[in-house]
């Protein structure tokens, strides 16, 4: 039985795809009498099957070597197009994480969206979402991974724009789609170029090719930068980071998966192409710069947000920045560990924030307060999720950060400063949000706020327990460092940054009525961070204005030059025809004379242009 499940691991993505297809009759309105609930239950059932299947395989695959499964999709003559799948502890573990979090998010959605008339359409989109993610996890082909990233882009567009009757939602979906398309287009260029250079797009073949590849510095740099662009868009990295903030207009259950799993999908591609990135030191430096700027900048921006979902989404960009920084420093194992701990903690934080939004009907943290006694399960989930995000012993993120810091404390000591800064500011931001939402006096929207129902509470409690047990799981998988190898100075520095951030966040003066400070200097910095360093306005003045100007020039050329030339030819033909109709005599000798004269004139000009007349004796 276990061998059968192992050999059919490639079928796991088709469970959720099948669930999505089965929900289409309800999502398209073909079946209406039963309501949308059966569609949700069908999708839940297929997700449960996928989770159980992958869990049994993961239990037995831990000690096995990775295996590759090649599926030939099309073959003609010498052309062969195949998809390679990898069955390894990392890929199967990623599937377990994806299906498990997707299952909890779907149960959560049953409560969060119980009154939504298009519940079936939401679950169909979640099914496609999950199918693309699980396929990406086991993909061993860059071509297949690119195709699945495109499916994720489309799914993101549809889920962000789920409530399409709201203009702001439509704008957010459009911006998210086009921002990702920029990165995907550059990634496609890299995939096409790589297929010509390497002859294969399987990650295992690319790894072997990269060891002996002899490329010019310019070629390798452009190739690696193109490969980086796609993951940068998916992970909301600078300068393609603005979409994740706007994507918070979508339903919160989708935000749970987007901020925990989808952003990790782009980083997972980076992990798979590490040998290729080593071909270009400039590309590795670009990853380091991009990750550092995003990590520090997004953490600062999150502190000034008063929308609870946007505050957490900027934190997602910041932690993905740390992952990019790890990839740039060739620390792929640490990056995977950070992705695991961040996904679980961030999913828990978004579930707790969704519960707050559901009961208060508000996302503005300045309108909340005193929820700790009214929503104990949500409060506990937010506290545990926040502790799992920062370096608080003994939770998972602490060990991920410590393993990273231990490996780089002597090689790149400046990275420790970045980790400490991002960790401390994250602790400060989460403490600030906790004080405004759960602490203090109740506000009008929170005085009678009840705890959420079991459908939303069960996933939160499950993830709370999982976050607390994650260190034990890491220890069982032999991923925790031994006490004798720990650098105690680094450990104390990380703990001190967390305690300092919590201390400042607990003592800083927060007034709910002051959404903007009355002190001019503080207001300037608050607006600077609150509006994301005015990056969107910079884009509007530079890139958007340049594209608009080029569009106007192109439209003018098309209207007056291209259309004008075509209209001129048409007018000349009409004018010539109208003129010649008066010269019709009906005598054939006149027509022959006209043809002879025209041919003679044309022959004269052709001979003159070719220089044949210069050879004549006269």
In a domain, 538, yes or no: no
pLDDT of residue 509: 76
Residue listed under structure tokens 């545990």: 384
**Stretch 442-447: mean pLDDT:** 79
Contact 174, 180 (CB under 8 A): no
- Tokens for 435? 């004080």
Same domain, 224 and 328: yes
Which range of 75-89, 208-222, 518-532 scores highest in mean pLDDT? It is 208-222
What does the alpha-carbon distance between residue 498 and residue 104 come to, in Å, rounded to a whole number? 29
With 60 as the cut, is the pLDDT of residue 21 above it? yes
Q: Which of 530, 549, 575 is the endpoint of a domain? A: 530
pLDDT of residue 382: 92
Same domain, 112 and 89: yes
pLDDT of residue 512: 64
- Model confidence band, residue 407 (pLDDT cutoffs 50, 70, 90): low
For every residue of 430-475, which 3-state class applies, written as one string?
A: HHHHHHHHCCCCCCCCCCCCCCCCHHHHHHHHHHHHHHHHHHHHHH
Contact 149, 266 (CB under 8 A): yes
Q: Which residues contact 367 (CB under 8 A, 6 or more apart)?
A: 360, 443, 444, 445, 446, 512
With 60 as the cut, is the pLDDT of residue 294 above it? yes
**Stretch 434-458: mean pLDDT:** 83
In a domain, 32, yes or no: yes
Half-sphere exposure of 83 (CA within 13 A, CB side): 14
Contact 398, 426 (CB under 8 A): no
Q: How many CB atoms lie within 10 A of CB 171?
A: 14
Same domain, 110 and 199: no
- Model confidence band, residue 326 (pLDDT cutoffs 50, 70, 90): confident
With 60 as the cut, is the pLDDT of residue 618 above it? no
**pTM as predicted:** 0.85
pLDDT of residue 108: 92
With 80 as the cut, is the pLDDT of residue 590 above it? no
pLDDT of residue 304: 84
In a domain, 585, yes or no: no
**478 versus 570: which is more confidently predicted?**
570
Contact 283, 217 (CB under 8 A): no
**What is the number of domains present in the chain?**
3
* 606 dihedral zone (left: phi>0; alpha: psi -120 to 50; beta): alpha
pLDDT of residue 46: 92
**Stretch 175-180: mean pLDDT:** 83
Question: What pLDDT, in 10s, does the model give residues 84-117?
Answer: 888 888 888 889 999 999 999 999 999 888 887 8
Q: How many residues does the chain have?
A: 618
In a domain, 616, yes or no: yes
pLDDT of residue 107: 92
CA 475 to chain CA centroid, Å, is: 30
Secondary structure (3-state) at 508: coil
**25 versus 409: which is more confidently predicted?**
25
Helices 488-507 and 396-408: angle between axes, nearest 10 degrees: 130
Same domain, 72 and 165: no
Q: Which of 140, 166, 185 is the endpoint of a domain? A: 140
pLDDT more than 90, % of the chain: 8
460-465's contacts with Cβ under 8 Å and 24+ in sequence apart are 460/108, 460/348, 460/351, 460/352, 460/355, 460/377, 460/378, 460/381, 461/377, 461/381, 462/104, 463/104, 463/344, 463/347, 463/348, 463/351, 463/381, 463/385, 464/348, 464/380, 464/381, 464/384, 464/385
Same domain, 123 and 258: no
With 70 as the cut, is the pLDDT of residue 483 above it? no
Same domain, 307 and 452: yes
Instruction: Break the chain down into helix, strand, coil percent, rounded to 5.
Output: 75, 5, 20
Which range of 142-156, 237-251, 402-416 scores highest in mean pLDDT? It is 142-156
With 80 as the cut, is the pLDDT of residue 520 above it? no
Same domain, 441 and 502: yes
CA 151 to chain CA centroid, Å, is: 11
In a domain, 575, yes or no: no
Burial (CB count <10 Å: 0-12, 13-18, 19+), residue 581: exposed
Residue listed under structure tokens 């170029």: 193
Same domain, 159 and 299: yes
Same domain, 22 and 125: yes
Q: Which of 93, 119, 140 is the endpoint of a domain? A: 140
With 70 as the cut, is the pLDDT of residue 517 above it? no
**Stretch 311-337: mean pLDDT:** 87
pLDDT of residue 586: 65
pLDDT of residue 508: 80
Same domain, 126 and 149: no
With 60 as the cut, is the pLDDT of residue 555 above it? yes
Residue 494: domain span: 141-364+373-530
E-only strand ranges, 136-276: none
Question: What pLDDT, in 10s, does the model give residues 392-406?
Answer: 878 877 778 877 777
What does the alpha-carbon distance between residue 469 and residue 445 come to, in Å, rounded to a whole number? 34
In a domain, 220, yes or no: yes
Same domain, 147 and 134: no
With 60 as the cut, is the pLDDT of residue 514 above it? no
**Stretch 583-598: mean pLDDT:** 73
Averaged confidence pLDDT in the chain: 83
**Stretch 498-515: mean pLDDT:** 78
C-alpha radius of gyration, the chain, whole number: 30
Same domain, 195 and 256: yes
pLDDT of residue 48: 92
**Stretch 325-340: mean pLDDT:** 85
Question: What pLDDT, in 10s, does the model give residues 335-360?
Answer: 888 888 888 999 999 999 988 988 88
* 392 dihedral zone (left: phi>0; alpha: psi -120 to 50; beta): beta
With 70 as the cut, is the pLDDT of residue 485 above it? no
In a domain, 125, yes or no: yes
CA distances from 402 to 338, 421, 426, 479 (A): 10, 14, 16, 12
In a domain, 225, yes or no: yes
């Amino acid at each position: 039985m276990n061998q059968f499940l192992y050999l059919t691991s490639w079928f796991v993505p088709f469970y959720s795809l099948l669930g999505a297809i089965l929900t289409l009759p309800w999502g398209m309105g073909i079946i209406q009498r039963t309501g949308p609930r059966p569609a949700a239950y069908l999708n839940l059932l297929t997700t449960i099957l996928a989770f159980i299947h992958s869990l049994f395989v993961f239990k037995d695959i831990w000690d096995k070597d990775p295996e590759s499964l090649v599926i030939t999709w099309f073959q003609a003559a010498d052309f062969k197009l195949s998809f390679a799948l990898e069955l390894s502890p990392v890929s199967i573990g990623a599937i377990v994480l994806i299906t498990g979090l997707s299952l909890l998010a779907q149960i959560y959605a049953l409560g969060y969206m119980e009154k939504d008339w298009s519940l079936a359409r939401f679950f169909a989109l979640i099914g496609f979402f999950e199918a693309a993610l699980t396929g990406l996890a086991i993909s061993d082909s860059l071509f297949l991974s690119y195709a699945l990233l495109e499916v994720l882009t489309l799914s993101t567009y549809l889920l962000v724009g789920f409530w399409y009757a709201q203009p702001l939602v439509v704008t957010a979906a459009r911006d998210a789609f086009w921002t990702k398309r920029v990165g995907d287009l550059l990634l496609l260029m890299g995939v096409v170029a790589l297929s010509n250079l390497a002859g294969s797009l399987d990650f295992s073949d690319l790894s072997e090719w990269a060891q002996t590849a002899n490329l010019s510095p310019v070629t390798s740099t452009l190739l690696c930068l193109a490969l980086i662009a796609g993951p940068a868009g998916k992970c909301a990295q600078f300068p393609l980071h603005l979409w994740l903030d706007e994507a918070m207009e979508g339903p919160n259950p989708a935000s749970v998966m987007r901020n925990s799993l989808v952003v990790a999908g782009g980083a997972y591609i980076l992990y798979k192409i590490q040998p290729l990135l080593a071909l270009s030191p400039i590309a590795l430096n670009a990853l380091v710069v991009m990750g550092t700027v995003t990590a520090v900048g997004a953490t600062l921006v999150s502190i000034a947000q008063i929308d609870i979902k946007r505050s957490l989404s900027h934190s997602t960009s910041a932690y993905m920045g740390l992952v990019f920084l790890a990839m740039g420093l060739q620390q792929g194992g640490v990056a995977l560990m950070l992705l695991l701990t961040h996904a679980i903690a961030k999913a828990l934080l978004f579930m707790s924030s969704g519960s707050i939004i559901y009961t208060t009907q508000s996302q503005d943290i300045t309108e909340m307060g005193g929820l700790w006694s009214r929503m104990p399960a949500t409060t506990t989930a937010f506290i545990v999720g926040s502790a799992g995000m920062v370096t608080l012993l003994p939770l998972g993120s602490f060990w991920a950060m410590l393993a990273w810091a231990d490996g780089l404390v002597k090689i790149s000591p400046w990275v420790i400063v970045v980790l400490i800064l991002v960790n401390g500011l994250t602790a400060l931001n989460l403490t600030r949000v906790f004080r405004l939402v759960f602490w203090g006096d109740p506000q009008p929207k929170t005085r009678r706020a009840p705890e959420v129902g079991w459908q939303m509470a069960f996933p939160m409690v499950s993830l709370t327990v999982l976050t607390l047990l994650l260190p034990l799981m890491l220890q069982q998988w032999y991923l925790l460092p031994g006490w004798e190898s720990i650098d105690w100075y680094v450990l104390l520095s990380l703990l001190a940054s967390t305690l300092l951030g919590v201390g400042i966040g607990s003592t800083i003066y927060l007034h709910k009525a002051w959404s903007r400070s009355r002190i001019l200097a503080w207001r300037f910095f608050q607006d600077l961070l609150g509006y994301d360093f005015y990056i969107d306005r910079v884009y509007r003045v530079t890139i958007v204005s340049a594209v608009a100007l080029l569009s106007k020039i192109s439209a003018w050329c098309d209207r007056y030059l291209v259309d004008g030339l075509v209209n001129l030819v048409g007018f000349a033909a009409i004018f010539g025809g109208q003129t010649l109709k008066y010269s019709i005599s009906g005598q054939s000798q006149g027509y022959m004379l006209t043809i002879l004269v025209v041919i003679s004139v044309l022959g004269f000009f052709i001979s003159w242009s070719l220089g044949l007349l210069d050879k004549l004796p006269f």
